[in-house]
């Protein structure tokens, strides 16, 4: 991992670090608000095809989670291969449980 080398550098090495600004996080926030608003509006409006609404809700939720985990939890940053594998593993087992439970109870 890249962070490994950083701490081993001698005290004389001075480098300027670029500190990220809040802009992209505010963009993620607005994006999340918009996705949430679409999901709520689709349900509040009613009258839309049920199957379509369910798919819309799931797509909005997954998109929002992807963006938040990427930017707010830094999964898109360098050196996050293991965390990504942990989360994929977790979501894989979780979705297997969900499919299994639905199959078990409803078929």
Partner 1 sequence: MSHAEHVNGELPHEPEKATLEGRNKVLGFWLFLGGEAVLFGTLFATFLALRGQNNEGPTAAELFSLPITAAATLILLVSSLTSVFAIQALHRHNIEKLKLWLIVTVVLGLGFLGLEIYEFYEYVVHESFNMKTSAFSSAFYTLVGFHGAHVAFGVVWISLLIAQLYRKGLTVVTAPKVYVSAMYWHFIDVVWVFIFSVVYLLGKVG
The answer to the question of residue 43 lying near partner 1 (CB under 8 A) is yes
For residues 77-106, which are near partner 1 according to CB under 8 A?
82-83, 86-87, 89-91, 93-95, 97-98, 100-102, 104-106
* Continuous H helices in the chain: 2-8, 23-45, 50-71, 81-106
Q: Which C-beta is closer to partner 1: that of 58 or that of 76?
A: 58
| Distance separating alpha carbons of residues 48 and 41, to the nearest angstrom | 11
Site string for partner 1, 44-73 (x = CB under 8 A): x-----x--xx--xx-xx--xx--xx--xx
31: which 2 tokens? 């994006």
Give, as one character, the DSSP assignment of residue 77: S
């Amino acid at each position: 991992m890249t962070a490994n080398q950083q701490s081993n550098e001698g005290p004389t090495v001075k480098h300027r670090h670029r500190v990220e600004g809040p802009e992209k996080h505010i963009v993620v926030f607005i994006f999340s608000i918009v996705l949430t608003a679409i999901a709520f509006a689709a349900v509040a409006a009613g009258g839309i095809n049920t199957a379509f609404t369910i798919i819309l809700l799931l797509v909005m939720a997954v998109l929002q989670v992807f963006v938040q985990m990427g930017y707010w939890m830094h999964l898109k940053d360098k050196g996050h291969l293991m965390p990504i594998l942990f989360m994929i593993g977790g979501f894989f087992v979780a979705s297997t449980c969900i499919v299994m439970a639905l199959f078990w109870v409803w078929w």
